[in-house]
């Protein structure tokens, strides 16, 4: 394959400049990804809008208070009953509203051959998601309203601390508590690939006991891998679909990217950032929920009033939506850094490009989506951008190697600048960029239709 790099912007150069996807994807491949994105988009956007509109409608009018009071009455009309039943009603309504959008997205993806699961399995997943959300949310609101009862003015202070702590605990527990609800995980079977992957981690100075394989194929043909957990629960997971369809060398490049996340401590740093974000969000909630016009609109007397629950949910949904683009921007930078790590570790831009092509085609990704969609929703740079960045990295390395060769004296001469494969020692250039985190470990989990890995 021709390794002559096409002229591409250097890393860090104008990130808004759109690279040209034509050398790597045929018009038919690009059209297929774009068509899937366009077919899914109204439903995906509709789901987001509905997910925001419902809490706003219930929380900024007396409707939510009326709902909480009504369902609370079924369970004895106590304050606790109103809080718990009201929260459960909000969760159930919210998830029910998502169902038609999710079903529509699923139908589109069936047409593109991305779905391997029947409707029964899909419905069971929805029920599992609902049960998991209730298990997580109900104790939280109970704790929250214990604090508002303690002090309707100052509840947010301990709540902010608790939110930060819970973010860390949930990040730690995610692989034990959340992931097994949806997938089975098995250690990768012994073999050449496993040996190669563990050797790669070893070369990177990262202790990896195992690469876990998720049984994603019971749901989808899409390919993905991710890192989650903290400390003892840290794990690198690959979809079984990846192992069965990608070339071993492509899997190595994917795992090299995941090792980048581990190396740069993206999950712990992201969890810390998420914890700070959660604390700030709770403090803002405390401020807003003390504002009389909002309480009046919601039909609640103060934050200790269980009828304030829909208002708190509405404000939380609003804060979440407003911070989405910033979280995505941070995530895209982290993903780009993990890509650079994969390139530094393997020195293999050619296989990196092959891996990106494999992922984009298997997942029917839009390889050059509209910039506005990228800015608002993309957790990963587009395949085109990632490939362009790899080519730029390769070009810069060729230049570096050529300069190094010229500077050196002796008989080494012009030993193939492009032929050198290993370059395992140039992480220093990335050291200064530490400190960027991922917003939350869940950000790295599959979101159908998005870029992955």
CB of 379 to Zn ion, least distance (A): 9
Q: Verify binding: residue 338, Zn ion, rule CB under 5 A.
A: yes
Binding-site size for Zn ion (CB under 5 A) equals 2
Nearest-angstrom CA–CA distance, 436 and 414: 38
DSSP 379: S
CB of 14 to Zn ion, least distance (A): 23
CB of 218 to Zn ion, least distance (A): 23
Q: Which residues contact 79 (CB under 8 A, 6 or more apart)?
A: 145, 149, 306
Nearer to Zn ion, 204 or 335 (CB): 335
Pure H helices in 216-348: 240-245, 248-263, 266-288, 292-298, 309-346
Per DSSP bridges, beta strands 211-214 and 235-239 are parallel
Nearer to Zn ion, 37 or 261 (CB): 261
CB of 17 to Zn ion, least distance (A): 23
Q: Verify binding: residue 452, Zn ion, rule CB under 5 A.
A: no
CA distances for 315 relative to 77, 161, 284, 329, 404, angstroms: 25, 19, 9, 22, 56
Nearer to Zn ion, 163 or 328 (CB): 328
Name the helix (H) or strand (E) containing 212. strand 211-214
CB of 447 to Zn ion, least distance (A): 12
CA atoms within 13 A on the CB side of 274: 24
Q: Verify binding: residue 262, Zn ion, rule CB under 5 A.
A: no
CB of 199 to Zn ion, least distance (A): 21
- Angle at which helix 27-59 crosses helix 309-346, to 10 degrees, equals 150
Nearest-angstrom CA–CA distance, 214 and 323: 30
DSSP 232: G
Nearest to 174 by CA among 207, 118, 132: 132
DSSP 115: B
Nearer to Zn ion, 335 or 366 (CB): 335
CB of 177 to Zn ion, least distance (A): 22
Cα 4 to chain centroid distance, Å, stands at 33
Nearer to Zn ion, 307 or 450 (CB): 450
Nearer to Zn ion, 243 or 338 (CB): 338
Nearer to Zn ion, 138 or 206 (CB): 206
Nearer to Zn ion, 335 or 348 (CB): 335
Nearest-angstrom CA–CA distance, 366 and 394: 24
State both tokens at 212.
């876990």
Burial of 56 (0-12, 13-18, 19+ CB in 10 A): middle
Q: Which of residues 67-96 bind Zn ion (CB under 5 A)?
A: none
Here's the x/- map for Zn ion, 298-337, by CB under 5 A: it reads as: -------------------------------------x--
Nearest-angstrom CA–CA distance, 3 and 253: 17
CB of 453 to Zn ion, least distance (A): 5
Nearer to Zn ion, 260 or 277 (CB): 260
CB of 445 to Zn ion, least distance (A): 11
Contact set with Zn ion (CB under 5 A): 335, 338
């Amino acid at each position: 394959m021709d390794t002559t790099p096409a002229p591409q912007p250097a890393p860090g150069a104008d990130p808004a400049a759109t690279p040209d996807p034509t050398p790597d994807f045929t018009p038919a491949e690009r059209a297929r990804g774009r068509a899937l994105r366009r077919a899914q988009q109204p439903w995906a956007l509709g789901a987001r809008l509905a997910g925001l509109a419902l809490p706003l409608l219930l929380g900024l009018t007396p409707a939510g208070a009326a709902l909480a009071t009504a369902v609370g009455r079924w369970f004895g009309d106590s304050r606790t009953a109103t809080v718990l039943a009201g929260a459960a009603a909000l969760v159930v309504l919210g998830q029910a509203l998502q169902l038609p959008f999710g079903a529509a997205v699923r139908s589109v993806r069936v047409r593109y051959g991305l779905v391997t699961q029947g409707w029964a399995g899909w419905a069971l997943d929805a029920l599992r998601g609902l049960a998991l959300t209730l298990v997580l949310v109900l104790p939280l609101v109970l704790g929250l309203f214990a604090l508002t009862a303690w002090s309707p003015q100052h509840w947010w202070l301990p709540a902010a601390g608790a939110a930060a702590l819970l973010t860390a605990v949930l990040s730690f527990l995610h692989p034990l508590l959340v992931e097994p609800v949806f997938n089975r995980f098995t250690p990768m079977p012994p073999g050449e690939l496993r040996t190669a992957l563990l050797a790669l981690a070893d070369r990177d100075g990262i202790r990896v006991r195992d690469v876990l394989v998720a049984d994603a194929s019971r749901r989808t043909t899409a390919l993905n891998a991710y890192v989650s957990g903290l400390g003892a629960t840290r794990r690198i997971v690959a979809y079984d679909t990846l192992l069965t369809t990608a070339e071993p060398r492509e899997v190595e490049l994917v795992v090299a990217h995941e090792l980048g996340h581990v190396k740069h401590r993206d999950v712990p740093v992201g969890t810390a950032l998420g914890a700070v974000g959660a604390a700030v969000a709770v403090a803002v909630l405390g401020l807003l929920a003390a504002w009389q016009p909002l309480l009046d609109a919601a039909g609640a007397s103060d934050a200790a009033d269980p009828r304030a629950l829909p208002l708190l949910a509405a404000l939380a949904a609003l804060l979440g939506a407003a911070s989405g683009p910033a979280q995505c921007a941070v995530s895209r930078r982290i993903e780009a850094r993990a890509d650079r790590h994969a390139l530094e570790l393997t020195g293999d831009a050619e296989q990196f490009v092959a891996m990106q092509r494999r992922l984009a085609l298997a997942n029917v990704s839009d390889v050059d989506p509209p910039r506005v969609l990228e800015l608002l929703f993309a957790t990963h740079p587009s395949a085109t951008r990632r490939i362009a960045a790899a080519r730029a990295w390769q070009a810069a390395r060729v230049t570096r190697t050529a300069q190094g060769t010229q500077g050196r004296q002796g008989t080494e001469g012009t030993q193939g600048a492009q032929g050198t494969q290993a370059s395992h020692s140039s992480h220093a250039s990335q050291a200064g960029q530490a400190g960027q985190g991922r917003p939350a470990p869940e950000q790295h989990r599959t979101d159908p239709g998005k870029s992955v890995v």
